[in-house]
Chain A
Amino acid sequence: MHLLVCGGSSCSAKDSERISHQLKKELVKQGLDETVQVIMSGCFGLCENGPVVKVVPDGTLYIQVKPEDAEEIVEQHVIRGKKVERLISSDPIPKKQLRIALRNCGVIDPERIEEYIARDGYLALGNALTKQTPEQTIDLIKASGLRGRGGAGFPTGLKWEFARQSKADQKYVVCNADEGDPGAFMDRSILEGDPHSVLEAMAIVAYCIGADMGYIYIRAEYPLAIARLKIAISQAREYGLLGKDILGTGFDFDIDLKYGAGAFVCGEETALIHSMEGNRGEPSLKPPFPAESGYMGKPTNVNNVETLANVPVILLKGAEWFSSIGTETSRGTKVFALAGKINNVGLIEVPMGTTLREVIFEIGGGIKDGKKFKAVQTGGPSGGCLTEKHLDTPIDYENLVANGSMMGSGGMIVMDEDDCMVSIARFYLDFTVEESCGKCAPCRIGNKRLHELLQRICEGKGDLGDLVRLRNLGEVIKDTSLCGLGQSSPNPVLSTLDNFYDEYLSHVVERKCPSGVCKDLLEYYIVEENCIGCTACARACPVGAISGERKEPHRINPVTCIKCGACLEKCKFDAVILK
């Protein structure tokens, strides 16, 4: 028998080490330490109910265990086989995560098509080709409520219908694997862990819209994903699941790869198509939509990787099953790349409607080093920062937008009290300014000016008027930019202005950075109580800004100080601080 004691950060903070110690002691007392092992495990994702102890093999889960419960667990459960009822949760604890798009990741060998087939792979395609008309299949996807997982959340079935209705001699299916949000890697993980699910879905789309050729637009920085896709495509061809007369139904479809150079704007579908054609990766006005005139001027359907990964399962398990998961407007699940100041950094998949609190404090195991939660950034450079007051908001497309952020491709970066929100906004603007393609003026010039304003504020040169200018300019860029990049790039600025206005005020009025991040706004101080007057700092100061008698507390003259930090380095008594 084994007793698993949770050693995750949250349970550790609640004394799980002592529980483990106490359990071992009780086992020794009973002479059972040879037969029963106590093991520290990783996070169970039940942090709110911690500390957690699990008994293996019977699977009993004890919650909110205290060190003094150890005796009872050993005497009752281990010796008599009687569960300690009072420590068992009365309600079954549901698992917060549900893997649909990631169903095969970490389960099958991505380089063996047989394993995918064994997990019902290509069955959805087979069923569609032999038993359903394209219209029926499109209706099923429409009924399921599946929406684009790349960020904007356009209904997938509707997109297919538009492409189907376009009349042309040639149509194309494109998979958008140009994952560009900083910190997002769900598409890469799907392509690396389950490439066939995307290939199968593309074939299904092709059948629905009447295409016989598909392309995966993938960034060249994803060599492993590319290698596994190539293997997958060649295996599917060998089995006849791609190529001519698939499954003897007369349906032809093949897939090829197109490599992107890693420009963020190429995730926008019109820019992506131009890049595929060998032109500059710049967006163009819609309409015409790709469904009417896309790759090579032909009707083209573009879907994101994660969207496609959902398709085969929906066909197999039905629209009703899929639409039973999630919220009224957003069905199914969403994959998030959870990162930042959080204990369990990871790739997670949760039903839509899960709250940010559940994601951050249960699945994510809470904030690192017991610090205070400050904000969570969703949607990458196009999204915004959500705060404490949004923690209990169910995550779906509409709620995120209503709160000034967006779903984006699913990056989720958690920030704690040490992060300066003005700097964060500037960081995202750095990225947008770099990635703007330069075609339209609002995005090219506007974002540059936004960035300059933020830079001034971070340097302590901003004034109250700058805060008004930030907001006005941000709104104008959103309203007038050509594509999604510019239409959303001011979001990080606007949402931090909304939610952390006080912090902006401190920067421009008091010229202070409350989190101590903006270097130009910090000053060096000597803490009198800690200073013993050793004069080490004064001797190190290159500009003679430090004065004071030997064996008396010293002082720094902020006017002369050039903030080089030499005093901080020299002080052995933690008397010099930055504040």
Chain B
Amino acid sequence: MNKINSLADLNRIREQHQTAISVRGQGGDAENQVYIKIAMATCGIASGARDTMEFMTEALKKRGVDARVIQVGCMGYCYAEPTIEVCLPGGEPVVFGGVGREKADEIIEKYIKGGELVDGIIPVNYETIQSKNIQNG
């Protein structure tokens, strides 16, 4: 890891990683990869998110799906933990709640492989501030 020595350096690193992040949650993935985010805060883990993550990582690999499973923080849906967000290449992200092994399996087989939605979708009921319109100054 190189040290960031100036604001210009920081901006360079930011732009470098921005493309990779922006594909998530916005669709339009250049690499045709499926992105899966798993809410891994204390409460999510206590409800079994770690098990879901391990299962999905392994199952996706075995079944030959090009996917990246990453851990994120709390999504806020305590009543529906473990919660995951799936973003198919070029698609809108979809949040699923109550995802144990069985549900994870169904999501991989039906939604990830066939684009067919399954029960347990959680409509996102919040707006997140867009950092895009931040003045770079």
Contact = CB atoms under 8 A, between A and B. Distances in A.
Interface of A: 2, 4, 6-7, 37, 39-45, 54, 56-57, 95-100, 102-111, 114-115, 117-123, 126-127, 129-131, 185, 188-190, 192-194, 222, 224-225, 235, 238-241, 247-248, 313, 316-318, 339, 343-349, 363
B73 A192 contact: yes
A349 B126 contact: yes
Contacts of B18: 118
B62 interface: no
Nearest to A193: B73
B42 A107 contact: no
A95 B10 contact: no
Interface of B: 1-7, 9-11, 13-14, 17-18, 20-22, 24-25, 37, 39, 41-43, 45, 70-80, 85, 92, 97, 116-123, 125-129, 131, 133-137
Given A98-B129, A102-B74, A194-B73, 8 more contacts: A4-B121, A42-B120, A56-B117, A102-B76, A107-B24, A109-B70, A126-B10, A239-B1
A313 B129 CA distance: 9
Contacts of B71: 109-111
Nearest to B134: A316
A39 B42 contact: no
Contacts of B37: 106-107
Contact of A239 (B3, B92, B117, B134): B3
Nearest to B45: A224
B45 A108 contact: no
B125 A44 contact: yes
Contact of A118 (B1, B14, B75, B79): B14
Given A109-B72, A114-B17, A224-B45, A127 B137 contact: yes
A54 B18 CA distance: 31
A346 B41 CA distance: 13
A318 B22 CA distance: 23
A188 B41 contact: yes
A271 to B, nearest CB: 25
B4 A247 contact: yes
B6 A247 contact: yes
B79 A99 contact: no
Nearest to A42: B122
Given A108-B21, A110-B72, A248-B6, A346 B117 contact: no
A345 B78 CA distance: 6
A99 B128 contact: yes
- Most chain A CB within a 10 A radius of its CB, from B2, B24, B45, B77: B77
A192 B73 CA distance: 6
A41 B123 contact: yes
Nearest to B20: A118
A37 B119 CA distance: 10
Contact of B41 (A44, A109, A131, A224): A224
A37 to B, nearest CB: 6
